[in-house]
Amino acid sequence: RINGDRLWDSLMEMAKIGATDKGGVCRLALTDLDRQGRDLFVQWAKDAGCTITVDKMGNIFARREGRNPSLPPVMTGSHLDSQPTGGRFDGVYGVLAGLEVLRTLNDLNYETEAPVEVAVWTNEEGSRFAPAMVASGVFAGVFDLDYGLSRADQDGRTMGQELARIGYAGDQPMGKPVGAYFEAHIEQGPILEAEDKTIGIVTHAQGQRWFEVTLTGQEAHAGPTPMPIRRDALLGAARMVQAVNRIGLDNAPVACATVGLMQVYPNSRNVIPGRVFFTVDLRHPDDAVLAKMADEFHAALNEILAEGKLTAEVEQIFYYAPVPFDADCVAAVRAATAAAGFSNRDIVSGAGHDACYLAKVAPTGMIFIPCIDGISHNEVEDAKPEWVSAGCEVLLGAMLERANA
């Protein structure tokens, strides 16, 4: 019932904004390219007859009115920002699948009971501004507005400043009633493709803990400074990278533990590094195991500090417990998948999604489609058109069920 070609064409059109040489996308949150992506979405949504509102965190809502405007909207959405070396589907797919739902309803002159809205959430990736999903987090009351607007990038520019600069500092207050929220997304992992399933019925998302660590030693000359008296912050950081990896392996099979970002100071070839900043990302679907992993991380760090050569500042900057999605919404996704006859399996999300925060304020469900080789956060990220269509079809079915309930 949805128009798969139209959805695909819109995805490819959006992918031109920030396109990279390797076929990916670099459209960091609140850059000029993000603005261009937002402007294109807003234009398309207006062309589809929607009214547009923007809240103080720059979240965009495109609304198609229902028979009963006083009902809380059934909402879908995702994000348009990308990783520095991101792909054409992560986030964008959920936004444009939502738009395709609206366009399909228009084609059919279909009037839903509740209004239907497509949301574009600001800075989901957490790459330019940490943490991830900060704007859906403010929407859901997990963070307050000041916290959200004051998140700064590595050059010290805040989300508040950058929202104003690109013209997306909206006037709507944060948060509003949502009847149900669905988010379609690529899996970003290898399970569905490996098992040849078209749809992942997402029952949970794993929990996450993010840390920032600064290790401080002493800068000294790489030539005349004897090895035994060195206080090499990079050596400490290197040991932590291995410790974090070990924590991931030791809590197999589902644990993930990653050091993704590292800055070395002064970063000069013949200077023993005096300071290293790095981040740690720990994930597990079981909150108790996630806490144990955090303990293991602190223990590994303390072991290095106990040697007396380095000092550390360490802060947990992001935590959310594993998220169970709403039973009725999961059932709606399951029903729509069955009605369309798509192969499927239940799945736990390894990534965080705006849906994880929406789940705090609305019944929420998610739909996964496979991606090639399970690769995401990579320019080669790819998906087959039939998967893209299938996920959107399921999204339409689930939303209609709830919008007419």
φ and ψ at residue 17, rounded to 5 degrees: -85, 105
Residue 202 beta carbon to a copy of itself: minimum distance, rounded to whole angstroms: 11
**Contacting ligand URP within 153-192 (CB under 6 A):** 188
Closer to ligand URP at the Cβ: 114 or 255? 255
**Contacting a copy of itself within 158-187 (CB under 8 A):** 187
Which of 270, 306, 307, 308 is in the footprint of ligand URP by CB under 6 A? 270
Peptide bond into 131 cis (omega under 30): yes
Structure tokens at 391: 């996920």
Residue 325 DSSP code: P
> In 3-state terms, what secondary structure has residue 148?
helix
Q: Which span sits near ligand URP by CB under 6 A: 7-15, 66-74, 125-133, 360-368?
A: 125-133
Please report whether residue 210 would count as binding a copy of itself according to CB under 8 A.
Answer: yes
Please report whether residue 319 would count as binding a copy of itself according to CB under 8 A.
Answer: no
- Report which of 184, 48, 37 is spatially closest to residue 108, judged by C-alpha positions: 48
φ and ψ at residue 152, rounded to 5 degrees: -120, 150
In the list a copy of itself, ligand URP, none, the entry touching 273 (Cβ below 5 to 8 angstroms by class) is a copy of itself
- Report which of 179, 184, 47, 39 is spatially closest to residue 106, judged by C-alpha positions: 47
Burial call 192-212: b when 16+ CB within 10 Å, e when fewer: bbeeebbbbbbbbbbbbbbbb
Structure tokens at 150: 């004051």
Residue whose entry in the numeric block shows the structure tokens 């070839």:
269
Please report whether residue 363 would count as binding ligand URP according to CB under 6 A.
Answer: no
Residue 190: Cβ within 10 Å count: 14
Structure tokens at 109: 């002159």
Please report whether residue 221 would count as binding a copy of itself according to CB under 8 A.
Answer: yes
- Report which of 71, 94, 182 is spatially closest to residue 404, judged by C-alpha positions: 71
Residue 243 beta carbon to a copy of itself: minimum distance, rounded to whole angstroms: 10
Which of 150, 245, 302, 343 is in the footprint of a copy of itself by CB under 8 A? 245
Which of 108, 171, 177, 227 is in the footprint of a copy of itself by CB under 8 A? 227
Q: Which span sits near ligand URP by CB under 6 A: 39-47, 242-250, 317-325, 350-358?
A: 350-358
**Contacting a copy of itself within 93-132 (CB under 8 A):** 125-127, 130, 132
In the list a copy of itself, ligand URP, none, the entry touching 248 (Cβ below 5 to 8 angstroms by class) is a copy of itself
Please report whether residue 385 would count as binding a copy of itself according to CB under 8 A.
Answer: no
Residue 66 beta carbon to ligand URP: minimum distance, rounded to whole angstroms: 29
What is the sign of the dihedral through the CA atoms of 158, 163, 164 and 165? positive
Please report whether residue 20 would count as binding a copy of itself according to CB under 8 A.
Answer: no
| Per-residue x/- track, 322-361, a copy of itself (CB under 8 A) | ---------------------------xxxx---------
Question: Pseudo-torsion of CA 237, 241, 247, 250, nearest 10°?
Answer: -130
Please report whether residue 90 would count as binding ligand URP according to CB under 6 A.
Answer: yes
Q: Which span sits near ligand URP by CB under 6 A: 173-181, 299-307, 323-331, 346-354?
A: 346-354
Residue 186 beta carbon to a copy of itself: minimum distance, rounded to whole angstroms: 10
Residue 120 beta carbon to a copy of itself: minimum distance, rounded to whole angstroms: 20
What is the sign of the dihedral through the CA atoms of 294, 298, 299 and 301? positive
- Report which of 384, 364, 386 is spatially closest to residue 372, judged by C-alpha positions: 384
Binding site for ligand URP (CB under 6 A): 90, 124-126, 132, 188, 221-223, 270, 351-353
